[in-house]
Amino acid sequence: MKKNIKDLDYKEVTALINELGEKEYRAKQLFIWLYEKKITCFSEMTNFSKELRSRFDEMFVVSPLVLEDRQISGIDGTEKFLFRTLDNHFIESVLIRSDGNDEGRLTICISSQVGCPMGCKFCETAKIGFKRNLSTGEILDQICHVRRITGLSNNNIVFMGMGEPFMNYDNVLKAADIMNYTFGFHLSVRKITISTCGIMPAIERFIDEKRPYNMALSLNDTEPEKRLIFMPVEKKYPFKSIASMLNNKFPVSRNRLTIEYIMRKDNISTEDARRLKKMFKYARIKLNLIPLNSGNHELPIPDKSEIEAFVNELEIMNVPVTIRKSMGSDISGACGQLSGKKYKLNNSSREQQC
């Protein structure tokens, strides 16, 4: 079975090039073809000899994902992409355009696992259960497809699609490092955010390794008993322990920590605001408030006045507080709505493969 060329980082590609008896500069050329020019076949690499292209084709696949469906929101232009893996699993990625608050921002929300093992009650992905981790190449290929299909070059990446990124730590961080190369995707470390529901050993490893990427912690409750109901990870990794560790470690980190807080009707009281203000005293944080999106659940969704009252309580927290607008809700592309559903397809929607 052929290997996935996008699973290899620059060091590994350089070693491969040397093994093939080629000059080392070919490694950089290959990355430009893969990630800047977004080729679909090795035959497109016109500055490589026919013999070298043939050898690559014998050993590797260029793209480990196949486009199955593309949907475009009629509300805000958000685009959702359904991909099939080579072993017939399904994942989704979302292209999110600026909502006006951050002009020029173009974000791709990517998946890190097929399904998810964490079991969060408000998340459609959790209902699939866990199938497997995505490889580095499958993570990167989502960006290649979206850029090629849309003709747009995103300037922001969030690991907030299907799966828990820190349960696939090595592949996720390897993919982020490749995104940050000066050739290829050209993405700044400050434009790559990795989200987690609170995998404490991985969070500590991330900080101790001095990884330069932004980190987002999905919190969603200020009471342990209540958080446990909605996020089973609370039992193994209590958020109070995580908060204590972050207060000790993040003040000396260059990273900004984003707290993602999904607002339900029952977790935005005055007491919740007070507890939230006390929780992170020293970490350099940003608070993202996300209204709960509709889905196959019976969780209470807050109204506009309740959200405004909660924000007013948080204003004296002296940290940036943002209400994140739900984008792509009409195509089930918003936070917590990705399910990897296999849609009935019109053959014309399939992307041609070499």
- CA 328, 331, 336, 340 dihedral sign is negative
Enumerate residues 6+ apart whose C-beta is below 8 A from 86. Answer: 61, 64, 65, 66
Two tokens at 232? 């089973």
Q: Which of 120, 123, 144, 335 is catalytic?
A: 335
How many helices (H) and strands (E) would you count in the chain? 11, 14
Residue 227's identity, in one-letter code, is R
Measure CA 141 to chain center: 13
Q: Which of 68, 79, 92, 260 is catalytic?
A: 92
Alpha helices in the chain (DSSP H): 10-19, 25-31, 50-59, 136-150, 169-179, 200-208, 224-230, 233-236, 239-249, 270-279, 304-314
Based on the residue annotation, tell me whether 92 is a catalytic residue of this protein.
yes
Buried/exposed code over 232-252 (b: 16+ C-beta within 10 A; e: otherwise): bbbeebbbeebbebbeebbee
Would you say 146 and 108 are in contact if contact means Cβ atoms under 8 Å apart? yes
Residue whose C-alpha is closest to residue 81's, from 92, 97, 73 = 92
By annotation, the residues acting in catalysis are 92, 335
